[in-house]
Chains A and B, each alone.
Chain A
Amino acid sequence: MATRAVGARPAAVVVQKPGRPALVVYVFGRYIRAAHWIRNALLIWLVLSGTYIGNPFLARVLYPETAEGFVMAQVRGWHVAAGWLLLAFTLARIYQFLFVTKDGKLGIGAELRMAPIMFNWKAWRDQLAFYLLLRRDHPHFTYSNYGPLQFLTYTALYASLLIISVTGIILASPYVSGGLVSFGADLLRPIEVWMGGLANVRSVHRFVMWFFVLFTAAHIYMAVWNSIRTGNLLIEGIVSGFKADDVETKHVTEEELEKGKAK
């Protein structure tokens, strides 16, 4: 594949291959891509370890003597550690969403300014029509990187990340004395009381986990589907950072390729 970088930083690249988009743009920076996959790995570990903590499925034959190993304590410890890391990523992302402007400065976040898309009925109609196969081309939203469905889903996702972190801190606090967990749990005590005790907190923690599992299934399918249906290189994008230009997803024809080579 012959590619040509535009400028020092590859903001956009012209692809010269039949059937591929004519212009790809750099949409996912290094941090975004790294964070995406790290969070993915964290979530997989958290779901698996959380399932073990809720209902320990490993056979006890692993450790015949109590003193030989502390599998539950280990799993629980690394579950909490991964939880803190996930919360750190979540807070960084929420900060970016709320306060980082288009040119990377502090202010009202660029993405926050896209929120009106959720209340744009035409946008809803266009996007749902696209997913329900009632229109061929992906609707283009001039002021938003996200469609209304995406915006709503991601907002719910981050709200859920906060809920699972809050419930997680409350659940972890009885196992440690002092430290950040205890400090957080003391602050969150009114929430624990409002929820009616640890049992309800734990149930909410588990239900939100299932929301993540469902989200992941839908997210993977829709990203793959979108990528194939529109040829916008969405799946490649979260690895390479480059995605087809949303404005004019034009596919390179044989003729254009010939011309390009002649130049």
Chain B
Amino acid sequence: MSRARTQADPEAIDRTLDKASIEHYERLAAEADAHLDELAAQAPLKDVTLEDQLRRRGITRREFLKMTAVMTATMALPSMFDLRVARAAELATRLPVIWQELQSCTGNTMALIRNSNPGIDELLLDLISLEYSEVLMAPSGQAAEDQLEAAIEQYRGAYIAVFEGSVPMADDGSYLTIGPAGHTGIEIVKHVAENAAAVIAAGACAAYGGIPAARPNPTAAVGIADFLNTQRINKPVVNLPACPVSSTNVVGTILEYALFGRLPSLDAFGRPLWAYGDRIHDKCERRGHFDAGQFVEGWSDIEGLKRGLCLFKVGCKGPMAHNNCGVVRYNDGASWPIMSGHGCIGCSEPGFWDTLTPFEVPLAGRRFPVFGIDADADTIGAVALGAAAVGIAAHAGATLVKSATEQRAAKKPEAKKEQ
């Protein structure tokens, strides 16, 4: 693709944008062009080209541009970035990536590679220079270890480290060892992250600890950002939580890095705003029923389920969860949990495994351990109120007895006088 075709074309700018926005996006576009030129000047790391990939997969250029246009919109960029994103996808071959498994179920990799049709996600995964990935690569044992070392050595300070899974901290990290040398998760993350340009935590485990970190967290599992903080390793980290993370969000983040040479703007929990800025609730197709107070009352409420009413009362945590599932969906955009009739479990929220459980009752039903019993807030409150009522009744009774005694004592001397 020629440089000229991606030049900012004032005619192509969305006419609904105001002047300030246009200036903002033009600045961004110039930034993107500068970085893409920089990438284009570098030697490609692989001898695969976009054209080869497209031809091999039978994807026409038109289809490819449709994919990148969708991706551009998902990344909250206007249409003037369509061709720039396409160019970024092409140049992503110059971006070395090390994908490191930790304490995880590999579900995020699975979600990426199990697309039934080769979408842009899988295409990009093939295009980027994936230097190391336990799940996908051929070498094993010492050969794999050598590959990792070689990649770190070759691309020191330039590669993106993607982590999948949490880091167990208990017992010097001995709950997770990888490779013939038995390196612990602690050693591996330190080694890989220290030499990376940027770190992506893919999935709920890498982002916030995930299921392994659920109470009582026997392995003392932590997310990557928390781990790096404890080790005082200062690297930009972008959290891409969800269980599994949608492939669109991984690819979008890598594309954004290719496009601008930096990680996206993040929210307070380290998540890209373009993907996690809104709640599931805000983009939900059943939101109208929520506002109207029309809820599926329980799993036997067949009528409510058939009408597609709001799933809040059967435990949907959409109002607490930030993600773009309702827009990009899963499995090639086929469906997503709420569409298929089960509430959101809030898997992109920090601590969801503890704070948003039990999954099939509203958050009001969250259990807290009190005196060895798990009870929800309302039960605890009602029991406390009952105890207060008992205390009040006891105090009132005691007061009645006491004042009766006082009155008798006050009368007695008078009675004596009369005698």
A196 touches B378 (CB 8 A): no
Q: Which residues of A contact B352 (CB under 8 A)?
A: 199
Contact of A210 with B292 at beta-carbon distance under 8 Å, contacts A200-B355, A225-B396 already known:
no
Contact of A174 with B281 at beta-carbon distance under 8 Å, contacts A133-B402, A206-B378 already known:
yes
Residue total for B at the interface (Cβ-Cβ under 8 A): 50
Q: Which of A8-16, A53-61, A113-121 contacts B (4 or more CB under 8 A)?
A: A53-61
Q: Which of B231-289 contact A (CB under 8 A)?
A: 268-269, 279, 281-282, 288-289
A60 touches B309 (CB 8 A): yes
Chain B proximity of A42: nearest CB distance (Å): 19
Q: Which residues of B contact A206 (CB under 8 A)?
A: 364, 377-378, 381
Chain A proximity of B292: nearest CB distance (Å): 4
A202 touches B406 (CB 8 A): no
**Most central of B293, B378, B392 by chain A CB within 10 Å:** B293
Tell me the complex Cα distance, A131–B288, Å.
53
A72 touches B364 (CB 8 A): no
A54 touches B269 (CB 8 A): no
Chain A proximity of B401: nearest CB distance (Å): 9
Q: Which residues of A contact B364 (CB under 8 A)?
A: 54-55, 206
Chain B proximity of A49: nearest CB distance (Å): 12
Chain A proximity of B275: nearest CB distance (Å): 16
A56 touches B293 (CB 8 A): yes
Q: Which residues of B contact A73 (CB under 8 A)?
A: 291-292
B388 touches A202 (CB 8 A): no
Counting CB contacts under 8 A, is A136 at the interface? yes
Q: Which residues of B contact A214 (CB under 8 A)?
A: 381, 384-385, 388
Residue of A nearest to B312 (CB): A56
Secondary structure of the B side of the interface? helix
Q: Which of B17-25, B101-109, B343-351 contacts A (4 or more CB under 8 A)?
A: B343-351
Tell me the complex Cα distance, A207–B289, Å.
28
Counting CB contacts under 8 A, is A217 at the interface? yes
Q: Which residues of B contact A221 (CB under 8 A)?
A: 392, 395-396
Residue total for A at the interface (Cβ-Cβ under 8 A): 42
Interface string of B290-314 (1 = CB under 8 A from A): 1111110100000010000100110
A71 touches B293 (CB 8 A): yes
Chain A proximity of B256: nearest CB distance (Å): 23
Tell me the complex Cα distance, A196–B396, Å.
43
Tell me the complex Cα distance, A62–B293, Å.
9
A63 touches B294 (CB 8 A): yes
B381 touches A199 (CB 8 A): no
Q: Which residues of B contact A192 (CB under 8 A)?
A: 268
Contact of A217 with B395 at beta-carbon distance under 8 Å, contacts A174-B282, A197-B350 already known:
no
B294 touches A60 (CB 8 A): yes
Counting CB contacts under 8 A, is A218 at the interface? yes
Counting CB contacts under 8 A, is A229 at the interface? yes
Tell me the complex Cα distance, A131–B396, Å.
11
Contact of A54 with B362 at beta-carbon distance under 8 Å, contacts A133-B398, A217-B389 already known:
yes
A193 touches B292 (CB 8 A): no
Counting CB contacts under 8 A, is B363 at the interface? yes
A63 touches B279 (CB 8 A): no
B293 touches A199 (CB 8 A): no
Chain B proximity of A169: nearest CB distance (Å): 15
Residue of B nearest to A134 (CB): B402
A198 touches B362 (CB 8 A): no
Q: Which residues of B contact A174 (CB under 8 A)?
A: 279, 281-282, 319
Counting CB contacts under 8 A, is A66 at the interface? yes
Tell me the complex Cα distance, A63–B384, Å.
36
Contact of A55 with B362 at beta-carbon distance under 8 Å, contacts A189-B268, A207-B377 already known:
yes
Q: A174-B319, A225-B399 are in contact. List 6 more A-B contacts (CB 8 A).
A: A193-B269, A198-B349, A199-B363, A210-B380, A210-B385, A218-B388
Interface set of A (CB-CB < 8 Å, partner B): 54-56, 58, 60, 62-63, 66-73, 75, 131, 133, 136, 174, 189-190, 192-193, 196-200, 202-203, 206-207, 209-210, 213-214, 217-218, 221, 225, 229
- What would 5 A/B residue contacts be, using CB atoms closer than 8 Å? A62-B293, A189-B268, A196-B351, A202-B363, A217-B385
